[in-house]
Every structure is written in structure tokens, then in C-alpha cells.
Amino acid sequence: MNLEITPPRALRGSTRVPGDKSISHRAAMLGALAEGDTQIENFLMGADCLATVKCLAEMGVSFTGPDENGRLTVHGRGPAGLKEPENVLDAGNSGTTIRLMLGILAGLPFFTVITGDASLRRRPMKRVTAPLSMMGARIWGRQEANLAPLAVRGGELQGAGFSLPVASAQVKSALLLAGLSARGETRVVEPAPSRDHTERMLQYFGAEIHKEGLTVWIKGGQVLAGRRVTVPGDISSAAFLMVAAAVVPGSDVTIREVGVNPTRDGILEVLRAMGADLEVSNQHQLGGEPVADIRVRHSRLKGVTIGGELIPRLIDEIPILAVAGALAEGELVVRDAAELKVKESNRIATVVGELRKFGVEVEALADGLRVRGGRPLTGASCASHGDHRIAMAMAVAGLAARGKTVIHDAGCVDVSFPGFASILSSLRVD
């Protein structure tokens, strides 16, 4: 599927974005580990989250839904209700699915093989498999259990303490999920804050979990109880609409009930620093997660330099921030983001290559990129590289470029933002 974009006169209106991808994954997984039903509203109907549901179903978890409105009921029977799958588990393109599922599988007393698509099979897994092996799980795979397919023989885990070299919500979450079924206590120390959806949701499902500064710990053997979960709108998806409204003249867009978890709201901080006209209102809680309405109006942006502890709070938003930088005055510089090289694509290389097609002056750095803004963009023929965030970032660039932009192989957008094109169309003023 190709996506064609032409510049509108403006973007205006109010909308919602699909449910948060990270929270949808975790709600399905914890619902499967809990005893009793978990009813999920606004579950993300994207390919990644559906891969999680399929993996859990292969292990005997029963579901009702999801329906077209994102309602999903997980009929949990506790960890004892999961069984050895007959088939290889397929995580598709989802790094969250495979890494968090490894944490669950490590604590289950049976044999499993899990893999993914060609892109996922190139992504590093030893950051998860090595500490899980230290807890007692037996894991085999290519390059000494660094690359999928991975075979896991779980059970009889012993809690342990870990000091992570890089802030990673996926690694932290895998260890906490393994710790839930381990003997004793599992403790994780991070060098900087990463998203804390797993900790919040474990507590919401009844687990006793403790956090002090950059350290989080959990005792094994706890029983989770099924809950009702309403998934907030995904701030990573909302980021594309925020930047679109900021860079298209005459725009005024409100996105309702977006998750504004403080470990995920770096995009708001950076857009404000760039001079965006951005307003956050109607703040409240949904299932332990803070949400709000976000209104963005067109404004003149300026370049900024970002790095350090801010990066884990906006790692997924860097492709769209690069587009904002291309349309700002001055330079946008991103540092300390080498993690971008091992996402669905090498996002440093793909962002640089695709933005140059619009006439943007941009260069790759060893751990980030530099974008020189202030030059008009010309419509381009872009490749998605099979990466949903690259496809959507280039679509937003097309909204602010002269002429037509075509994003080839844009079906990957459905991984995180089904309905992206229709929402853009609904906001257009031509």
C-alpha cells in the first residue's frame, strides 16, 4: 500500500489516537497471568499488539475479542493456566512482544520457541536473555542467544539484582515479569528513568512492587487479579499529529485523552522548547496512568539540542522530531540515541536518507543526527523501510512540502496507528 500526501491549507479539529501500544501489550500479558477476567477498553488493534494476543493464545489463554472498537477480554487462569505451545510463537515485528514474553516464558516450566519477522530476527536479545539466564532460565539461540529464533526452557527461577548498562523499559519489564514467578526478590537498577508502565500496571493488578529513585524491586510468588483496564491514547502516535499541527500554517488540532506518563512525555518538553504553541488540559487518571487533552496550534519553531536522560522519554518520537527540526529555524541536534540503530530499521540512517529526498540538510552522527532547518521542503518519493514511524514521519513532512509526496509500502503504519491516513484526512482543510 502506498500513501499519497499533498499539503492542506490547514489542519483543524479534534480527534483521538489509538490506544497506547506499550500499555496494550502489558494489559494483555498481565491479564493472561492474572486470575479472573481482565476487560480491556481501547486495546490497540495494531499488528504488534495482536502478535502478543496470538502468542498468548498459542499457550492456551482464552480471549473474547478484540472487536472493532478495541474491546478485549482476557480470561485469565493464572500462570498455571498457561501450557506448552504446540507451535513456534511468532512475535511478528514486535520487539516488545518478544522481549517481555521472554520474561514470562523464563518462569514457566515448559519448552517454547519464539521468533519474529526478518527485521526482528536482526534485533539484539542478549540484553534480555543474559540476565534471565542468570536467574536460572535456559535459553538457546543464534549468536549465543542474542538473535531469534530463541528456545526457552523456563521454571525454577531465583530472584537476583541487576544494574542495567542502558535505560530500557523492555529489559526492565522482562526481568520484573520473570521476578513475579521467581523465588525471593528481583531488583533492577537503571542508569536513567525509562517508561514505567509495567510497574504501574503490576501494582494496578494487585502486585506489591517497590520503587526508590532508579531502583525497582518485586517479590516472587505474588498472585495477580483480573482488572478492568482503559488504555490511554498513545502519545507516540499523537506526536505525529502534534508536529503536523505545529508545522502546517493555520492549524489548530486537539487530541483527546492522550497518555502523559512522565516517563513518556519528553515530546511535550522538546516541542515547548522549540516554541510550539502547545496546551495540556483536562488531566486525569485512567487505570493508574495519567491522561490529558493536548492542543497544538501552528507556530514558528526553532532548533534545539537534546540528549542525556531525556532520550529514553522520547526515543520513539525522534523520527518525527527530525521532521520538526527540518521545518524549524536553526539546528536540531540529537545525541545519546545510538539505540535508534537497532529499532525496526536503523532509524538514524533511514531518517537521514529519507529527509534528504525532501531537500533537507541533515547528517548522521555516531549517536544521533543533526538537522539544519529553515529551507522549504519539496515533495518526494519515500520508502518506509518497513518501519511504521519512518512512514508516518515522512507523511507529516509531505504535509508541509510543496507538491505531492508518496510513501511506498506504507502498510506498516498499521503496526501502531491503524487509521492514521483517515485521521489526517478528517483534519484537513483544503
* 22 labelled binding-site residue: yes
- Cα(83)–Cα(61) distance, rounded to whole angstroms? 9
- Nearest Cα neighbor of 169 from 277, 57, 21, 281 is 21
Residue from 262, 256, 263 nearest 238 by CA: 256
316 is known to lie in a ligand binding site: yes
| 55 touches 152 (CB < 8 A) | no
> Which of 234, 316, 387, 414 is the catalytic position?
316
Q: Which amino acid is at 338?
A: A
Buried b (16+ CB within 10 A) or exposed e, 380-402: bebbbbbbbbbbbbbbbbbbbbe
User: Residue 356, annotated ligand binder?
Assistant: no
Burial, 282: exposed, middle or buried (Cβ in 10 Å; 0-12, 13-18, 19+)? exposed
DSSP of 26-48: HHHHHHHHSEEEEEEES---SHH
Does the annotation list 21 as a binding residue? yes
Q: Is 347 annotated as a binding residue?
A: yes
Read off φ and ψ for residue 177, nearest 5 degrees: -65, -40
Beta bridge partners of 158: 183
Say whether 95 counts as a known binding-site residue. Answer: yes
* Helix H or strand E encompassing 209: strand 209-212
Q: Is 272 annotated as a binding residue?
A: no
SS3 251: coil
Residue 119 among known ligand-binding residues: no
Three cell numbers at 232? 490511554
Q: Any known ligand binding at 313?
A: no
Is 409 an active-site residue?
Answer: no
How far apart (Å, rounded) are the C-alpha atoms in residues 58 and 50? 12
Asked if 237 and 66 touch (Cβ cutoff 8 Å), the reply is: no
Which residues have a Cβ under 8 Å from the Cβ of 205 and sit 6 or more positions away? 30, 34, 38, 224, 225, 226, 227
Helix (H, G, I), strand (E, B) or coil at 214: coil
Whole-angstrom Cα distance, residue 208 to residue 225? 12
Interatomic CA distance for residues 25 and 100, integer angstroms? 9
- Encoded amino acid at 191, one letter: P
The phi and psi torsions of 137 (rounded to 5 degrees) equal: -75, 145
Helix, strand, or coil (residue 142): helix
Annotated binding site: 21-22, 26, 95, 123, 168, 170, 316, 343, 347, 389
Task: Catalogue the active-site residues.
Answer: 316
Residues tagged in the binding site annotation for phosphoenolpyruvate: 21, 95, 123, 170, 347, 389
Binding residues for 3-phosphoshikimate: 21-22, 26, 168, 170, 316, 343
